[in-house]
């Protein structure tokens, strides 16, 4: 190629955004944002940007001169000329959403809110196009550096993606300037009328600022969350490498959340208020780990979403082992297989490698089966603080993080990291069969009755070996509901049950309904005895006025079918009814008010009932 041809090729290169500087003025009372975006662009041609349809553009300047543009829906196009240009976009956007409409009883995620500015709080997700997001030829957001300067709001505390710019400030001072330490595909902002609590924590790879912002009424919870986050950093940085950000901020959001962004997480007020119970494995630790998986190493949208599988493996599974030993890991594995075995066709509904794509499988595959794949791949079932960092899977995951931090990675990159660490003398591709079977193909081993006392292999279990849980009652075979009229709620929970296909499993709610089925319950292998003021299960009687029970048994004479009962000794315990579908790993749950005071698993010993 001649020099002239090379120059022509460079001049014809499509425009690319190298970085973006945002100046943001937020007005909560009017739900408004006044925004100036300054983009450094290389190349020429039509630049395509995602920008909310709510943006009322004031002006667009290219190197100081008015530029032609078109804003149609959420797409903004601007013609750029010159090898390097500065594009300035100024606009006003009114961003308000019906937050209450997305709230669901018992749910910790409200997926309906994307961009909201109001007196109740500010939440601008990084994918909500509240600021210009440059797109490539495949309509994917372009990774680029972003800085944001927010006009201070008296009495408010906000956090943004990345690291705080200010140096030497007290951790209790609000920060209004943020930058991303590596390219990202969007900027997020969240916060409210909060207090700041935190400290600098020294990890095995250097200091990390750990901060929590909460309203005054929850300030006493802040130390629990900050302490927990520091403990997680002590656990995971030796295993995974340096924390990817200078600061980790925990934000109490104004609606049900549990979302992670680069350098921070937003948690709903109910989760914060539940501390320390909400610091169990799978909550804050899960969100902190997303700074490595998803917000440090990014998910390649051309492949499946691997980050929830890897994060669930590291937090929901592994931290149980760290806290409670190998038995806790076995119980997690067993619980996953029991849940799968209640209705494999509904739960395992597609290849793991398709999770996150349109028409792909559901949450169970992406989180639970995904975590189990890494369990099988690594054989991990224990933790030794003196040895684990030098063993699989952590050597593989550190290599994966180090190699791919700040870039999009796919399942192939994960495979490569495991191949190098697990078999340095093996040829490339030696894990092809494992990844093909468990990631690319829809593999659901059938009901194989073979010895696996440690539950280390993903498979469907024979019906006679399935532990009775509410997941089985609401799973395969359909559901019949019998409830006392005095406690038959008319809300969303009962409507959900009424909508379930009528079938062979049975849900009994209240003492009268349970008494009417007394003969049937006495034939089960793990019966419950209920009176109006007490219940006896597993040989223990509970007669506290605020105590309630959820108990599941195998249905006599119907292998693979189940009976679940719910009862409360007094009025207070009935508030637990709407939450029962979340307790899918135990046969029995006993509450005293909102506190779980006992839980047990009934191991089937043979035929279900007599």
pLDDT tens for each residue of 472-485: 999 889 999 998 87
Which one, of 218, 156, 164, 181, lies nearest residue 29 by Cα?
A: 156
What pLDDT does residue 540 have?
96
Alpha-carbon span 64 to 76, nearest angstrom: 19
Distances in Å between the Cα of 449 and the Cα atoms of 65, 457, 458, 605 are 74, 12, 13, 14
Structure tokens at 570: 């007094």
Which burial class, exposed, middle or buried, applies to 605 when counting CB atoms under 10 A from its CB (0-12, 13-18, 19+)? exposed
Alpha-carbon span 111 to 570, nearest angstrom: 34
Cβ proximity of 587 and 608 under 8 Å: no
- Whether omega for the bond prior to residue 5 falls within 30 degrees of 0, making it cis, is no
Distances in Å between the Cα of 599 and the Cα atoms of 300, 333, 502, 548, 586 are 40, 17, 28, 12, 7
Alpha-carbon span 283 to 269, nearest angstrom: 13
Cβ proximity of 28 and 117 under 8 Å: yes
Instruction: State the helix-helix crossing angle for 394-404 and 411-422, rounded to 10 degrees.
Output: 130
Structure tokens at 204: 């095995």
DSSP-derived 3-state class of residue 18: strand
Alpha-carbon span 78 to 561, nearest angstrom: 61
Structure tokens at 338: 């029991």
Alpha-carbon span 530 to 450, nearest angstrom: 37
Cβ proximity of 43 and 14 under 8 Å: yes
Which one, of 79, 88, 114, 82, lies nearest residue 99 by Cα?
A: 114
What pLDDT does residue 167 have?
67
Alpha-carbon span 573 to 593, nearest angstrom: 6
What pLDDT does residue 494 have?
67
Measure the CA angle with vertex 151, ends 70 and 110; round to 5°: 70
Cβ proximity of 189 and 24 under 8 Å: yes
DSSP-derived 3-state class of residue 575: helix
Which one, of 347, 293, 338, 339, lies nearest residue 315 by Cα?
A: 293
Alpha-carbon span 125 to 116, nearest angstrom: 9
* Topology given in CATH for the domain delimited by 298-461: Neutral Protease; domain 2 (1.10.390)
The sign of the torsion formed by the CA atoms of 82, 85, 90, 91 equals positive
Segments of the chain scoring below 70 in pLDDT: 1-12, 167, 448-449, 486-501, 605-610
Cβ proximity of 257 and 122 under 8 Å: no
Phi, psi values for residue 457, rounded to 5°: -120, 130
Which one, of 38, 31, 84, 30, lies nearest residue 61 by Cα?
A: 38
Alpha-carbon span 407 to 300, nearest angstrom: 8
Alpha-carbon span 60 to 67, nearest angstrom: 6
| Torsion angle (degrees, nearest 10) of CA 66, 68, 71, 72 | 170
Which one, of 583, 581, 578, 549, lies nearest residue 565 by Cα?
A: 549
DSSP output for 314-382: IIIIHHHHHHH-HHHHHHHHHHHHHHHHH-HHHHS-S-GGGTTSTT---HIIIIIIHHHHHHHHH----
pTM, entire model:
0.91
Alpha-carbon span 125 to 514, nearest angstrom: 47
Structure tokens at 608: 């279900």
What pLDDT does residue 500 have?
66
DSSP output for 376-423: HHH------TTTGGGSTTHHHHHHHHHHHTTSEE-HHHHHHHHHHHH-
Give the bridge partners for 596, in sequence order: 591
The backbone region for 416, taken as left when phi is positive above 0, alpha when psi lies in -120 to 50, beta otherwise, is alpha
Alpha-carbon span 408 to 397, nearest angstrom: 15
Distances in Å between the Cα of 592 and the Cα atoms of 514, 531, 570, 579 are 20, 17, 10, 14
Cite the residue boundaries of each domain of the chain with CATH code 1.10.390: 298-461
What pLDDT does residue 594 have?
86
């Amino acid at each position: 190629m001649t020099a002239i041809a090379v120059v022509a090729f460079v001049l014809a290169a499509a425009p690319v955004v190298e970085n973006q500087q945002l100046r943001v003025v937020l007005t909560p009372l009017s739900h408004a944002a006044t925004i100036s975006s300054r983009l450094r662009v290389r190349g020429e041609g039509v630049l395509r940007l995602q920008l909310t349809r709510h943006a009322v553009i004031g002006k667009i300047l290219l190197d100081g001169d008015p530029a032609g543009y078109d804003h149609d829906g959420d797409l903004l196009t601007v013609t750029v000329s010159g090898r390097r240009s500065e594009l300035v976009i100024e606009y006003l956007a009114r961003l308000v959403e019906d937050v209450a409409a997305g709230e669901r009883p018992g749910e910790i995620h409200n997926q309906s809110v994307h961009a909201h500015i109001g007196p109740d709080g500010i939440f601008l997700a990084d994918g909500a196009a509240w600021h210009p997001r440059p797109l490539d030829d495949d309509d994917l957001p372009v990774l680029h550096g972003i800085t944001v300067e927010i006009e201070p709001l008296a009495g408010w505390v906000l956090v943004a993606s990345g690291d705080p710019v200010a140096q030497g400030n007290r951790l209790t001072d609000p920060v209004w300037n943020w930058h991303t330490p590596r390219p990202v595909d969007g900027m997020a902002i969240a916060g409210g009328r909060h207090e700041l609590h935190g400290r600098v924590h020294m990890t095995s790879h250097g200091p990390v600022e750990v901060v929590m912002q909460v309203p005054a009424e929850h300030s006493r919870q802040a130390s629990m969350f900050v302490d927990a986050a520091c403990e997680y950093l002590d656990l995971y940085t030796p295993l995974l490498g340096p924390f990817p950000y200078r600061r980790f901020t925990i934000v109490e959001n104004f609606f049900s959340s549990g979302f992670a962004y680069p350098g921070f997480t937003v948690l709903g007020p109910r989760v914060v208020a539940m501390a320390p119970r909400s610091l169990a494995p799978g909550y804050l630790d899960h969100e902190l780990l997303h700074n490595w998986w998803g917000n440090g190493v990014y998910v390649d949208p051309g492949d499946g979403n691997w980050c929830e599988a890897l994060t669930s493996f590291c937090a929901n599974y592994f931290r149980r082992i760290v806290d409670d030993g190998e038995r806790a890991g076995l119980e997690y594995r067993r619980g996953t297989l029991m849940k799968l075995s209640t209705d494999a066709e509904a739960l395992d509904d597609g290849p793991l490698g398709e999770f996150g794509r349109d028409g792909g499988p559901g949450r169970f595959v992406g989180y639970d089966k995904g975590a189990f794949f890494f369990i099988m791949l690594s054989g991990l079932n224990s933790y030794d603080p003196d040895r684990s960092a030098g063993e699989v899977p952590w050597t593989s995951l550190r290599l994966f993080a180090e190699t791919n931090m700040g870039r999009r990675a796919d399942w192939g990159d994960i495979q490569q990291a495991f191949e190098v660490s697990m078999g340095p003398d093996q040829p490339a591709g030696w894990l092809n069969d494992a990844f093909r079977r468990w990631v690319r193909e829809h593999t659901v081993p059938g009901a194989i009755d073979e010895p696996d006392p440690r539950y280390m292999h993903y498979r469907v279990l024979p019906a006679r070996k399935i532990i009775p849980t509410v997941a089985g009652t609401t799973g395969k075979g359909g559901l019949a509901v019998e409830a006392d009229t005095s406690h038959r709620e008319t809300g969303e929970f009962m409507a959900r049950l009424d909508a379930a296909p009528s079938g062979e499993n049975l849900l009994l709610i209240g003492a009268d309904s349970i008494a009417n089925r007394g003969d049937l319950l006495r034939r089960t292998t793990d019966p419950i005895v209920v009176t109006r003021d007490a219940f006896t299960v597993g040989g223990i009687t509970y007669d506290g006025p605020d105590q309630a029970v959820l108990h599941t048994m195998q249905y006599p004479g119907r292998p693979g079918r189940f009976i679940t009962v719910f009862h409360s000794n007094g009025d207070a315990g009935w508030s637990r009814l709407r939450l029962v579908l979340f307790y899918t790993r135990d046969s029995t749950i006993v509450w005293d008010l909102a506190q779980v005071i006992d839980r047990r698993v009934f191991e089937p010993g043979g035929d279900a009932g007599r």
